[in-house]
């Protein structure tokens, strides 16, 4: 499943041990780029998780912490593990991955990318609220026009 989320090809024939090693390597190679598509809400969730995980192995979460689709996205990409029982819902990031994520998300250039993502998302939400449904090409045209206005 993780292989499919990342769209890694040519590794399905590997045995389980080899597959785990290759997935670990490929996730780390692609982690910074993938994280750069997140918003500040997801990044703040990861920061909180990394900080709280230092005190306990599993960190309990609530729906207000992060929406289920984002949680499932993190799990599908192998970024977090989820323990979901009647008694608790908790998550954890593998320790070696947590260290890499912490390094990436504290980088000032990365933080600027996340701010840009938030701005772009707010812009698109405004367009959709005003116009209703738009095609991706229409969104690109509106965004290009807005960028041109700022440059001029």
Q: What is the pLDDT of residue 149?
A: 85
Residue 105 near residue 35, CB atoms below 8 Å: yes
Rounded Cα–Cα distance for residues 91 and 93 (Å): 7
Q: pLDDT under 50 in the chain at which residues?
A: none
Rounded Cα–Cα distance for residues 133 and 138 (Å): 10
pTM of this prediction? 0.81
The length of the chain, given as a count of residues? 152
Q: What is the pLDDT of residue 135?
A: 93
Rounded Cα–Cα distance for residues 71 and 38 (Å): 12
Rounded Cα–Cα distance for residues 105 and 98 (Å): 10
Radius of gyration of the chain (CA): 18
Q: What is the pLDDT of residue 56?
A: 78
Q: What is the pLDDT of residue 115?
A: 96
């Amino acid at each position: 499943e993780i292989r499919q989320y990342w769209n890694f090809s040519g590794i399905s024939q590997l045995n389980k041990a080899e597959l785990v090693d290759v997935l670990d390597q490929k996730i780390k190679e692609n982690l910074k780029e993938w994280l750069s598509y997140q918003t500040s809400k997801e990044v703040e969730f990861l920061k909180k998780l990394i900080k709280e995980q230092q005190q306990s192995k599993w960190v309990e979460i609530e729906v207000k912490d992060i929406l289920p689709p984002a949680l499932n996205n993190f799990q599908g990409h192998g970024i977090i593990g989820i323990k979901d029982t009647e008694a608790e819902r908790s998550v954890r990031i593998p320790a070696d991955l947590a260290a890499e994520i912490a390094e990436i998300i504290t980088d000032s250039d990365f933080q600027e990318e996340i701010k840009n993502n938030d701005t772009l998302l707010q812009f698109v939400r405004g367009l959709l609220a005003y116009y209703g449904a738009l095609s991706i090409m229409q969104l690109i045209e509106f965004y290009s026009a807005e960028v041109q206005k700022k440059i001029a």
